[in-house]
Chain A
Amino acid sequence: MELLDRYLNFIRFLLPRGKQEDIIAELSEDLHAQIADRETELGRQLDEDEVAAALKQCGHPLLVAARYQSEQQLIGQPFYALYVFALKMVQWVLFPLALVAGVAVSLFRAHPVTAIVGSIGDAIASAFYMVGLITVVFIVLERLQVKLTFLQDWKPRDLPKLPVVPDPLLIPRSASFGGFLGLALFILWWVGLIGVPQLPHVHFLKAIPDAFFWPVLLLAMAEMLLHAWNLFLPWWTRRRAAFRLLVDVCTLALLVALTRTWPWFAINVDAGVAAGIAPSTRDVAILEQVVNLSLLISFGIMALCYVPRLLQDLRRARGLPPYRNWLVVMFGN
């Protein structure tokens, strides 16, 4: 389905930013259903030529995207989509190229700083000239009603390979699998089925009261269940987002409660002396303080990481599209 993804990705590139995900999801569903129907009819998988034929029948990405554009005054269909494409080329290719070339040349001038400032101004001015020129060309094309034969005679294989934008509603299976595995190991450790080597003179996490055993276990199991669920149905639904929201709120409450049992790390000096290690009391105190502070800071960071997740899940649970801010995307998925 690489061809199908490439086709959809090209349409996405041409669509208005706020509508991209919704339109592509719907179009993708339709094309997948068409292909599935055809495969059922033939009793085999479609080869690449057949997929290309199906895509060609759907129309050139420029035409498909053009139908979703709302405001077209001076430049109408199908020129408007081409016009937007040309402007994007100026924005993402010509302007950066002019800027980089200008700055690079300026570095070899007698007064580089002044030359760099001048080259930035030149690059901006060139971009404006290009936008003006492109607009005039497209208005003329529109008025002359030039027939664009390439929109009818095109090959899906010739479409450029653009970087794939991940669907914000999709849950990567790798993340679900990693989460599932990590939590499974944690649960096995928590219930004592697997152990890590312990030093007799070190008390690590022993200050955590037994009352935390069941809440931690249940929350870990709930999140593990969610990861398993996501492995089979890898996209967010309102119900699943609400479920994770609930688990996360409980986890945060548990983290806050756990901080009351801090410090979690202690060294038993007597056991150390018995084992032939005799550290000074001051060294022990410093070591305990450093480890406990590190653990507390780690807990704080962990709690902070839950904030974007909570924000994202709150939106998903309300049926709204998730935030696209990179910070929220990085920590909130």
Chain B
Amino acid sequence: MGTEAFENLRLELRRGSLILAVLAELRTEQYGYTLRKALAGHGLAIDEGTLYPLLRRLETQGLLQSQWREEDKRKKRFYQLAPEGVQILEQLSAEWRAINGSLDQIL
């Protein structure tokens, strides 16, 4: 029970952070697989079943823009921050730093 509760809370904690990480990574254009590898490289592994629905949702919200292109003879969907996403990323980053600072004091 304790492990399950921890797992649920951990996932909840990660969820918000992942959005910020994805937005920050997409300041430069990338497609899903390279984005996953980049995030994993920073210690934030994310499975495809979580990443792609998230990208889709962020695109629907106007924070990302995407386009299908051929690269290495394969069709890939490239994502990048939309102008609104750039603005939101700045605000979220400031918010994150503030929360982090507060938590550091509390913990």
- Asked if B70 contacts A237 (CB within 8 A), the reply is yes
* Contact code string A11-44 (vs B, CB < 8 Å = 1, else 0): 0000000000001011101111110000000000
B31 — which chain A residues lie within 8 A by C-beta? 29
Name the residue on A nearest B52 (C-beta).
A26
Name the residue on B nearest A11 (C-beta).
B49
A63 within 8 A of B: yes
Bound Cα distance from A32 to B31, whole angstroms? 13
Interchain nearest-CB distance for B80 vs A (Å): 15
- Asked if B53 contacts A67 (CB within 8 A), the reply is yes
Interchain nearest-CB distance for B65 vs A (Å): 13
Tell me the dominant secondary structure on chain A's binding face. helix
- Asked if B47 contacts A59 (CB within 8 A), the reply is yes
* Contact code string A287-322 (vs B, CB < 8 Å = 1, else 0): 000000000000000000000000000000001000
Number of interface residues of A (CB under 8 A): 22
B75 — which chain A residues lie within 8 A by C-beta? 25, 29, 169, 235
- Asked if A27 contacts B74 (CB within 8 A), the reply is no
A129 within 8 A of B: no
Bound Cα distance from A68 to B59, whole angstroms? 13
Most interface-central of A26, A29, A169 (chain B CB within 10 A): A26
A30 — which chain B residues lie within 8 A by C-beta? 32-33, 36, 48, 52
Name the residue on B nearest A239 (C-beta).
B70
Most interface-central of B36, B53, B70, B73 (chain A CB within 10 A): B53
- Asked if A25 contacts B77 (CB within 8 A), the reply is yes
B68 — which chain A residues lie within 8 A by C-beta? 25, 319
- Asked if A59 contacts B49 (CB within 8 A), the reply is yes
Bound Cα distance from A25 to B33, whole angstroms? 13
A64 — which chain B residues lie within 8 A by C-beta? 48-49
Name the residue on B nearest A25 (C-beta).
B75
With beta carbons under 8 angstroms apart, the residue of B53, B56, B74, B77 that contacts A32 is B74
* Contact code string A55-67 (vs B, CB < 8 Å = 1, else 0): 0011100011001
Interface residues on B, range: 10 to 19
Within 8 A of B (CB), among A188-245: 233, 235, 237
Name the residue on B nearest A147 (C-beta).
B4
Also in contact, A34 and B33, with CB within 8 A (given A68-B56, A235-B75): yes
B70 — which chain A residues lie within 8 A by C-beta? 233, 237
B50 within 8 A of A: yes
Bound Cα distance from A25 to B31, whole angstroms? 13
B76 within 8 A of A: yes
B50 — which chain A residues lie within 8 A by C-beta? 67
Name the residue on A nearest B69 (C-beta).
A237
Bound Cα distance from A169 to B76, whole angstroms? 13
Bound Cα distance from A32 to B77, whole angstroms? 14
B47 — which chain A residues lie within 8 A by C-beta? 57-59
Interchain nearest-CB distance for A99 vs B (Å): 36
Bound Cα distance from A25 to B70, whole angstroms? 13
Most interface-central of A23, A25, A30 (chain B CB within 10 A): A30
Bound Cα distance from A80 to B66, whole angstroms? 28
With beta carbons under 8 angstroms apart, the residue of A29, A63, A235, A237 that contacts B32 is A29
Also in contact, A27 and B77, with CB within 8 A (given A59-B47, A233-B70, A237-B70): no
- Given A64-B49, A68-B52, 9 extra CB contacts under 8 A: A26-B77, A29-B32, A29-B74, A29-B75, A29-B76, A30-B32, A30-B33, A30-B52, A58-B48
The 10 closest A-B pairs by CB, nearest first: A33-B33, A67-B53, A64-B49, A59-B49, A30-B48, A30-B33, A68-B53, A26-B77, A67-B49, A30-B32
